[in-house]
Structure 1
Amino acid sequence: MITILSLAIGLLNYPLIEYPKKIGILGGTFDPPHIGHLRLASYFAKKLQLDELLLVPSGQPWQKGSNITSAEIRYQLTEAAVIDLARVFLYLKIPTKIGVDRIEIEREGPSYSIDTAKSLRERYGSDVSLIWLTGADSLIHLPSWIAWQDLFRYLHFAVASRPNYDLSTEMSPEIQMLLETNQTKDLNDLTSHPAGLIYIDESFSVDLSSTDLRKRWQSTARSSIASEQIPSHTLEIILNLGLYQ
């Protein structure tokens, strides 16, 4: 008869299989963070079974011009949005840990994704799967990013489709070639490899335009926008500070 003690000893001597952690990264200006960001985060956190999710507000978004809300306020807005996101995770029983990372805000100079990717890889090590969560429009415009091809040395990309963006007709030859060599349709590949792959989810569509939201905020439709598009805790800060008037 095998006793509980002997069984425990046997288990201790048996090599355990350890799977690399999966960390999702949702970067952006977050000016402001909105329901589209939360939907994207919730969808991929559940589908990819992420261990952690980092929201990374940009410090100095070099492609956005100068008319941007200060980094510290955008960080506060993002922290507030995470309160609502945590409630969504709790309701949907998603065990993913959530955090807001100041890595780009505290780094001097323009916020380049390649610098963030390198820093996160150094922080988490070579075995962890780092997955950049984004929409189809970002994939289309990826060749405009600094050192964009080097990103795949450090990250995977998980891409959601987006209304009015047809990848088959709008992507450049560079992206077509990238998909031929790096695209995967098997989610398990994002665990078995730490970086280098693109997963496109065509079953999920999300609108991620903070720019359009700010323009609509200045229109007569402000009240409906507030209730439908902006997380409640973020909205409270926006109203208190009189942002986007």
Structure 2
Amino acid sequence: MKKIGILGGTFDPPHIGHLKLAIHFAKLLNLDELLLIPSGEPWQKGSDITAAEIRFQLTEAAGIDLARALLYLKIPTQIGIDRLEIERAGPSYSIDTAKSLRERYGPKANLIWLTGVDSLIHLPTWNAWQDLFHYMNFAVASRPNYELATEMSPEIRKILQERQTQDLSALETTPYGLIYIDESLSVDLSSTDLRNRLKTSDRNLIEPDQIPSHTLQIITNLGLYQ
């Protein structure tokens, strides 16, 4: 069974937290491929969003650092930066992405949406969120300052009762419908916080341990987030 990891997001900008999550699950789940998918029109993020083509360029640059890290760590996962959501007109709904990827890879591929626990907490606000489990699995990483047990809604509590597995092999061998929560990774980085820092005199203090070096170079060269 081919295992495809999917890391979607606004990526405004992509940061080391995204890469650490990708590397962690690429190794843990023995992913064959890992797709970074920048959103085209992130409907929940408001209007103050960097243009999609620039965010795609920043994500491509982050992909260079991610591919090098995987090569160094001898993790054979192939990296792809996908234009799926940018080329689709209208708001970027994850359910449309899930359907397109299932059609692309076929019914037997294992599609695994990689995300943080903060996104899981807010999952009921997503369009047709319950239908996502008919197309993919979820691998969820813990994050500081987010306590799932106390912050989850009744809807998430119910879906976890129905779909959560603690058996990693089950997640690897089932094409869709399961949720796996990993508490061994905890990254405290936020694109919003980094954008705000880039708008201040602290921008020169941001280093490659927060934003990937190739991405940071483009941000500097284009004078973004000022």
Tell me the TM-score range normalised by the shorter chain: over 0.9
Match of 2:43 in 1: 62
Match of 1:107 in 2: 88
Output the CA distance in 1 between the equivalents of 2:110 and 2:71: 24
After superposing the two structures, state which structure 1 stretch, 119-128 or 210-219, moved more.
210-219
3-state SS of the aligned residue for 2:114? Answer: strand
3-state SS of the aligned residue for 2:80? Answer: strand
Output the CA distance in 2 between the equivalents of 1:70 and 1:220: 23
Give the TM-score of the pair, scaled to structure 1: 0.90
Sort the Cα spacing of 1:103 and 1:123 in 2 relative to 1 into closer, same or farther, 3 A: same
| Alignment check: 8 A CA contact 2:3 2:110 kept | yes
Output the CA distance in 2 between the equivalents of 1:131 and 1:227: 28
| Alignment check: 8 A CA contact 1:135 1:208 kept | no
Letter in 1 for 2:73: L
| Alignment check: 8 A CA contact 2:41 2:91 kept | yes
Instruction: State the shift of 1:136 in Å.
Output: 0.5
3-state SS of the aligned residue for 2:8? Answer: strand
Output the CA distance in 2 between the equivalents of 1:186 and 1:64: 34
| Alignment check: 8 A CA contact 2:29 2:172 kept | no
Match of 1:21 in 2: 2
Instruction: State the shift of 1:223 in Å.
Output: 2.2
Q: How does 1:17-56 map to 2 (within 5 A)?
A: 20-56=1-37
Instruction: State the shift of 1:49 in Å.
Output: 0.5
| Alignment check: 8 A CA contact 1:62 1:111 kept | yes
> Which consecutive segments of 4 or more residues in structure 1 shift more than 2 A?
none
3-state SS of the aligned residue for 1:185? Answer: coil
| Alignment check: 8 A CA contact 1:135 1:206 kept | no
> For each residue in 1:109-141, what CA deviation from the matched residue of structure 2 results, as whole angstroms up to 9, or x when unmatched?
000000000000000000100000000000000
Output the CA distance in 2 between the equivalents of 1:207 and 1:75: 23
Q: Which runs of 5+ in 2 are unaligned?
A: none
Output the CA distance in 2 between the equivalents of 1:46 and 1:191: 12
Q: How does 1:62-211 map to 2 (within 5 A)?
A: 62-211=43-192
Output the CA distance in 1 between the equivalents of 2:188 and 2:105: 30
Give the TM-score of the pair, scaled to structure 2: 0.98
Instruction: State the shift of 1:226 in Å.
Output: 3.3
Instruction: State the shift of 1:208 in Å.
Output: 4.7
> For each residue in 1:194-228, what CA deviation from the matched residue of structure 2 results, as whole angstroms up to 9, or x when unmatched?
00000000111123521111012222322222343
Output the CA distance in 2 between the equivalents of 1:77 and 1:204: 24
Output the CA distance in 2 between the equivalents of 1:138 and 1:86: 25
Output the CA distance in 1 between the equivalents of 2:46 and 2:217: 26
Identity %: 75
Output the CA distance in 2 between the equivalents of 1:160 and 1:48: 13
Output the CA distance in 2 between the equivalents of 1:118 and 1:228: 35
Number of residue pairs aligned between Structure 1 and Structure 2: 226
Name the Cα RMSD after superposition: 0.9
| Alignment check: 8 A CA contact 1:33 1:230 kept | yes
